[in-house]
Amino acid sequence: MLKTSVAKKIWMGISGLFLISFLVIHLSINLLLIYPGKEAFENAVHFMATNPFIRIMEPVLFLGFIFHILSGIWLEWTNRQKRPVGYNQYDRGAVTTWAAANMIWTGLFVLVFLVVHLINYWYQFKIVGVEDHYELVISLFDSPVYTLFYVLAFIALGIHLSHGFQSAFQSVGAPREKFHKCLRTLGYIFSFIVAIGFSIIAIYFYLK
Ligand code: HEM
């Protein structure tokens, strides 16, 4: 049981790092929506849609998400089985951070966001055949409910990453004593940039 858990944790780390690199690319491209604007964003989307390497990586990305989600649920489930009595909130807080203790909940919220997000964008572009990416993206932020839901999901993603970033590196073998502080700080900076970066896009177009 322990051996399988450790193996799953390593795979979670690898898939987590892969998803982190996706977020860096996705955020960089999305920021083009604000500056320089429509043309640069459409060019980047066109490049992503036609580049053969990216085309190959698209199904890998979907599998990465599915693998990461299923492993996360499985890990949470087996951890709960191993401690059937359960910790109360106080005990949990004493040994870990709030973000670490609630990875499953922030992760599930991001999953709900992801399903809505893929229906709104991916489905519209790839299946329905909508061509004006820029117009569709910004028109969705006309709605205050939609914008608020997005911003809350980005906050949940930031909290998830504030623990997930360092955890992913440690799961793939970064020496704990040597790099713990450094990875923790980097993780906080990265999760802050991701949460704020995506939120700025949503709020900017809502206010515009
Ligand atoms: C303001 C924030 C965001 C905007 C404006 C945005 C916009 C978009 C757009 C326009 C697409 C379709 C691209 C295309 O295939 O033509 C897309 C796809 C996608 N987005 Fe986002 N996104 C945002 C945040 C996020 C976040 C935080 C995540 C992950 C947690 C995410 C995950 C994805 C995924 C997995 C796809 C499908 C990628 C693919 O086509 O291969 N997005 N997004």
Q: Which residue out of 122, 134, 157 has the highest number of ligand 1 atoms within 8 Å of its CB and is therefore the one to mutate?
A: 122
Q: Are 156 and 104 in contact (CB under 8 A)?
A: no
Residue whose CA is at the smallest distance from ligand 1 atom 23 = 198
Domains of the chain listed by start with CATH number:
2-207 (1.20.1300.10)
Q: Digits of tens for pLDDT over the chain (208 positions)?
A: 455 778 878 888 999 999 999 999 999 999 999 999 999 999 999 999 999 999 999 999 999 999 999 989 998 898 888 876 555 544 454 558 999 999 999 999 999 999 999 999 999 999 999 989 999 999 999 999 999 999 999 999 999 999 999 999 988 888 877 888 999 999 999 999 999 999 999 999 999 9
Q: Are 69 and 19 in contact (CB under 8 A)?
A: no
CA of 8 to the centre of ligand 1 (A): 26
- Compute the Cα dihedral for 3, 63, 145, 157 and give only its sign: positive
pTM of whole model > 0.75?
yes
pLDDT at 3: 58
Ligand 1 atom nearest the C-alpha of 154 is 27
pLDDT at 179: 85
pLDDT at 1: 47
Helical H segments across the chain, by residue range: 2-31, 38-50, 52-82, 89-95, 98-101, 103-117, 133-140, 144-171, 176-207
